[in-house]
Amino acid sequence: MRILVISDSHNQHDNVMEVLKIEKHIDMLIHCGDIENGEAEIKKACNCPMIAVKGNNDFFVDLPKEIELELGNYKVLVTHGHYYFVSLENTTIKLEAISRDIDIVFYGHSHKPVIDREEEIIAINPGSISYPRQEGKRPSYCIMEIDVNGKATFEIRFL
């Protein structure tokens, strides 16, 4: 299974469409919030199941604050992250995920890509697909691949 994880598109969906062309076949798209409308456009373009959560700038959308799901051998939490102070660091969101027996937490909000692997938790921020803030300021996203045994690998990629 191949999963595209994006965040913080902020109604600027050209880069989302570009990533969908580059990555071609994906089995699922996860959006970690701050879509600011356009979720129907993205869903249509990805032609696969799409999971999206509400970000701090998603004022008039009917999206959940968080979603828990199973992917491969993992229990996954998808959230935007602003309720967990991720602009400062990701300790709070990791502790929350661990308290819920979550294996992987996907979040956004900081616009900076992160793959943080610890013994108890994997915390991943794909960065912003539209307004990156990390050094070099390249739009970023994450590809998660789950093998036939249910094991996951993760890669941050840049446009």
Q: Residue 140: what pLDDT? A: 98
Q: Residue 38 pLDDT > 90, yes or no?
A: no
Q: Residue 21: what pLDDT? A: 96
The first and second tokens of residue 126, run together, are 């794909």
The first and second tokens of residue 19, run together, are 């990533």
* Cα–Cα distances in angstroms (integers) from residue 116 to residues 56, 126, 142, 153, in the given order: 23, 11, 13, 12
Q: Residue 68: what pLDDT? A: 98
54-87 pLDDT, tens per residue? Answer: 999 999 889 999 999 999 999 999 999 999 999 9
* Rounded mean pLDDT, 95-109: 98
- Report the percentage of the chain scoring pLDDT > 90: 97
The first and second tokens of residue 91, run together, are 């300790």
The domain segmentation of the chain, as residue ranges, is 2-158
Q: Residue 103: what pLDDT? A: 98
Residues 6+ apart with CB under 8 A from 153: 144, 145, 147
State pTM to two decimals: 0.97
Q: Residue 159: what pLDDT? A: 95
Residues 6+ apart with CB under 8 A from 45: 16, 17, 20
Give the count of alpha carbons within 13 A of 29, CB side only. Answer: 26
Is 3.60.21.10 the CATH classification of the domain at 2-158? yes
Q: Residue 122 pLDDT > 90, yes or no?
A: yes
